Amino acid sequence: MFPGAGEGMKTSERDAALAVLERLRRHGFESYFVGGCVRDMLMGRASREHDIATAARPEEVAALFPRTRFVGSRFGVVLVVEAGRAVHVATFRSDMDYRDGRRPSAVRFSSAEEDVRRRDFTVNGLLHDPIGDRVIDHVGGGRDIEARVIRTIGDPAARFAEDRLRMLRAVRFAAALDFRIDEAALDAVRALAPGITAVSRERITEELSKIMTGERAGKGLSLLDRTGLLAVLLPEVSALKGVRRHEGGRPEGDAFEHTRAMLDLKGPSSRTLAFAVLLHDVGKGRPAAGSDRIRFHGRDAVGAEIAGEVCGRLRLPARVREAVVACVANRMAFPEVRKMREGALRRLIGRPTFPVELELHRLDRLAGGGDLSAWEFLVRKREEYGGGAAPAPLITGDDLIGLGFEEGPVVGAVLREVEEMQLDGRLGSRKEALEWARRRLE
């Protein structure tokens, strides 16, 4: 029995995987931890997943465990549920020809060494025997971890041509681990970058999201640019290179570098904040018609439109897309908050996206001069307003129709007026709001 089993304790991911591996070993199947968990162990990092590579065939794995599911039987992958944890168990294999730039046409089951040699990067090609406590390195992954370099296993052009998503994975691993990408691999990505569009948008967005929500998203953006992937996938962001910022009457440098700096300041984050930062300045990449001057008036609206287009193209969830658009559209209100009327200020703080908008403003200021006075003012006001939640409406559209208002735009206009007076403190109760509405009808 492994630690915690049957004792009412929550079994860790590693303990569950170790129990699976031990059972495979007891039945005579060569088995190892493989991939990212081994890399993370050598680097002293926590790992959320512990994948197993084994000599057991999928049907043999399924016969040993009561709860299994074939998630990639064609590729020899079985999901084993152990102590409430899902453990991926893959049979040692070699991949046959890649015909679609994403997956092999077929596989053949093979040895442990052949299995790691078909993987993407050396740092992900390590095996660990936890019972004998030894690392097996057929590909030089340990050396590359020490050198802090992302290097393909074998010829980089061939590996990226096989599976084009690996180009984005190289960027993600380099950013997440703070490694550099091997020069030969960089050259190969630059040459093959246009082919990234052969990968499904969902898989591209999954990798981009991991890059942008990570701790070193700014480094990820720089690598996307250096590899040529940015110009292919996010030309709106690439267009910010060389565009001077002009906030508050003074230039603040290149809009692309400003965005990169904000991403580095951000740290790990939600997708909404990550893409709001990434896209907050995209309106400035579209020059003002008929002028060679730096004119950014109204660029928040233009930027929101472009941000919506980008999020739609990436097929981000509707709630994320709508929140990002709101953040980009509203961001220019923040420097002016001390001039706002009380009602407008309460509405701003009561918006569902306000926490993200506030953080976007803080990062924008830190990366562009460090004036946090508006941010500090809003933090104080949010506390003063009890956390910023907007109060419940005093009356509804049904109330107005009951008073005699005709259905249509006028009802919405009156409700907005009531909300304004409620937030300004001029109406404090439902009774007062109904009385005001009656007079408004006369």
Residue 42 predicted with pLDDT over 50: yes
pLDDT at residue 254, rounded to an integer: 86
List C-alpha distances in Å: 36 to 54, 121, 243, 299: 16, 10, 39, 42
Mean pLDDT on 139-161: 96
Residue 143 predicted with pLDDT over 90: yes
Helix axes 201-213, 217-227, angle to 10 degrees: 130
Mean pLDDT on 351-376: 90
Which pTM was predicted? 0.81
Per-residue confidence at 54, pLDDT binned at 50, 70, 90? very high
Contact 264, 216 (CB under 8 A): yes
**Of 235, 148, 237, nearest in space to 196 by CA:** 235
Mean pLDDT on 27-37: 96
Between 287 and 408, whose confidence is greater?
Answer: 408
Which SS3 state, helix, strand or coil, does residue 23 take? Answer: helix
**Of 147, 136, 148, 212, nearest in space to 174 by CA:** 148
Q: Which domains are delineated in the chain? A: 13-147 (3.30.460.10), 150-231 (1.10.110.30), 234-384 (1.10.3210.10), 397-441 (no CATH)
% pLDDT > 90, the chain: 61
List C-alpha distances in Å: 73 to 38, 51, 68: 24, 16, 12
Contact 28, 97 (CB under 8 A): no
Sequence length of the chain is: 442
Tens of pLDDT, residues 58-71: 999 999 999 999 98
Residue 50, both tokens: 């512990």
- What is the overall mean pLDDT for the chain? 86
Residue 124, both tokens: 């992900």
% pLDDT > 70, the chain: 86
Tens of pLDDT, residues 109-141: 889 999 999 899 999 999 999 999 999 999 999
pLDDT at residue 351, rounded to an integer: 84
Residue 82 predicted with pLDDT over 60: yes
Q: Which of 44-53, 240-249, 308-317, 400-409 has the lowest mean pLDDT?
A: 240-249
Q: Where is 69: in which H helix or E strand? A: strand 68-72
Q: What angle do CA 203, 193, 242 make, to 5 degrees?
A: 105
Contact 245, 284 (CB under 8 A): yes
Residue 431 predicted with pLDDT over 80: yes
Per-residue confidence at 260, pLDDT binned at 50, 70, 90? very high
Residue 331 predicted with pLDDT over 50: yes
